[in-house]
Structure 1
Amino acid sequence: MTSNRHVEMDLGPDWIVRMAWPEEGDIQGGPIELLVTPSDPQAYPAGGISSTVLRSVDFRAATAQLRRQLASADRWRRRSDEYETGRIERIRDALAKGITPEYLALLSSAYVSRVNSGQAKPVERLAEDIGKSLQTIRGHLWRARKDGLLTGSAGRKGGQLTPQASAILSRIVPNAPQSPIETSQT
């Protein structure tokens, strides 16, 4: 299955069907891939795949499930984009008050989140989003490490927020979602 737009369904106790739709475009039609496998790969059902098994594939239910999955992913993406926009605004507002622990904690949180989500060139992207030079943001992250808000080594990607940084963030952004991504180690 090469598509990220896929659905998996049980076909009774013995079989699983995986269906995939094209990455782009409408999902009005059926899937472009169909893979039927035994529920237990160690014990193949007697007789193999039959026409009865194939007739039990419910394409309408699979399409409805895919639509729900896509709608949920779209809602999550919109909330995530809104949160990230607000985060950048909070960072800019904090920076306007100087290089404070609050600013460094916010910057570190955004940095760790981007590194852990696999974003390419997270420092460069933060610099662009905040409107500061790459060297300035690198220097601020170095300072966050030096001040005990971010673990890791300067010049090496990654790290994690310290309890001190988490406490600052809890105080200044009390309703922020608690993301395991921001506190996990890389």
Structure 2
Amino acid sequence: MTNTNDHEGSAAPRAGVEQVQHIGAWKVTMWLPLDSTSGNPREIRIEPHEEADPQEVARGITSTVLRQIDTAAFAAEVRPLVDLAHAGQQVVENFRRELAGLPKGVSDEYLAVLSALYVRFVNLGRRAPAQDLELWTGAKQATLKGHLRAARQRGFLTKVEGKAGGQLTDKAVEILKGTSVSNVRLP
């Protein structure tokens, strides 16, 4: 089982839980998006197993194979992961609510919080911190990149040439102490 998947031929990876079962000559892949409210698979893909006997594959998928697909085991196994994803989504929603409570516009408070979140993602080794910021703030990446530029210009975030990174400045740390957003659990 994995936390994300990357279906062959799909446009982009989709966040979800995937489980593979081997039933006779068949590989049965069940998938559930992380935003699902149930534990039952949303998609089931059946394809010949790599080591399958060609004669068995030629007979096709039978009702016996379909009856052996254990969706109950899948649901039981993914429930903790779905619950964890929902808890994570609640943290993001709490963060957005606190962010909305800051002074409107590109305020010093907003830039300090955005800088702190950006530094956190960079320190976690995230390859595309702007994508993570988009998820957490709800703002578009292009807008966020402009805001990060403004944060650097206003002295909240140091600059690193040629790559993602930087550190919070003392100015940003002082502003963060006075915001309610600093009390919200970050990733």
TM range (shorter): 0.3 to 0.5
TM-score (normalizing by structure 2): 0.46
Task: Name the one with the larger strand percent.
Answer: 2
